[in-house]
Amino acid sequence: MTGRMITRIMALAMVASVVLSILIVRGFVGASIAVANNFITSHQALKIALQDAEISRRDVFFPTIRRDIEDGIHIYEVEFEIGGHEYYYDIDAASGEIIDVDIDTKYSSYMLNKDMIE
């Protein structure tokens, strides 16, 4: 092999590495990696959060699901809105256990009180 061929091979390997990283970040191969690492899938994480909130999947539009690592634990961050409330769940990607839940009201107290009066 010539030096030029080796340079081309290394350049192709670097490009492939960058493309794979982008695909993983975007979630295109995230599901297969989740299975390989014995993690639940993003769809299972959403189902866990919706069951806990007692909300039907058909009532939620455009949920956000991201995989992250917090304190060395692989988690899914699941977010969705319904009925003036924003739901935020952290779910352990290995066990499916709910780690944290935060439910926020989209409207301020003033807005709620004003709506009640009118």
Nearest to residue 107, comparing CAs of 85, 90, 91?
Answer: 85
Q: Which CATH class is domain 40-118?
A: alpha beta
Domain spans, the chain = 1-36, 40-118
pTM of the model: 0.61
For position 4, what pLDDT does the model report?
A: 78
**pLDDT tens digit string along 57-79?**
999 989 999 999 999 999 999 99
**Partners of 73 in the β-ladder:** 70
Kindly list the distances between the CA atom of residue 110 and the CA atoms of 34, 55, 80, 87, 107, in Å, as whole numbers in the listed order. 44, 27, 23, 21, 8
Q: Which residue has the higher pLDDT, 111 or 42?
A: 42
Those residues with Cβ within 8 angstroms of residue 103's Cβ, 6 or more apart along the chain or in another chain: 53, 85, 86, 87, 88
Q: What is the arithmetic mean of pLDDT over 39-43?
A: 96
pLDDT band at 80 (very low <50, low <70, confident <90, very high): very high
| Residues 85/103, Cβ–Cβ less than 8 Å | yes
